[in-house]
Amino acid sequence: MLQRTGTLEEIMKGYANDYGCTLIATTRREVVSPTRHNFNSKIYMNGQFYEEEPYNNIEVIDRIGSGDAYLAGVLYGLIKYGTPEQAIEIGNALSAVKNTVLGDMSASSIEEIESVIKSHKATGRQDEMVR
């Protein structure tokens, strides 16, 4: 964070003010155990913060590449849909899924990621194969 201090929100606003950034995105990972992580992120765009419920208890096989997957998902969401809400959903889902496969690249289709997002937002009983 370039040795900045303050809350995450203050740091993100500082980047926008000091460097003229129009969008700041940061990931947040909570390591529960070596093989279980919680993942979330936050986006600051046009003076507003965006985040969603974290992906909890991800079974981590290989976390290398999950940051790249997050950024790819955010960029895809922004280009395809033009909204920070879609960007954060796709970025979070793609990163969460990437943690569950070996290697540094995600090979998930957008249809798979959309299915994961739908499951993530669902309440009640869910198909274990999509979770």
Cβ–Cβ under 8 Å, residues 108 and 93: no
Give the sign of the dihedral formed by CA 28, CA 29, CA 32, CA 36.
Answer: positive
Spatial CB neighbours of 57, under 8 Å, sequence gap ≥ 6: 32, 36, 37, 38
pLDDT in tens, the chain (131 residues): 788 999 999 999 999 999 999 999 999 999 999 999 999 999 999 999 999 999 999 999 999 999 999 999 999 999 999 999 999 999 999 999 999 999 988 889 999 999 999 999 998 776 666 55
Mean of the per-residue pLDDT values for the chain?
A: 93
pLDDT value of position 53: 95
Q: What is the pLDDT of residue 131?
A: 52
Question: What's the pLDDT score for residue 127?
Answer: 67
Contact indicator for 7, 25 with CB cutoff of 8 Å: no
Q: What angle do CA 94, 70, 39 make, to 5 degrees?
A: 80
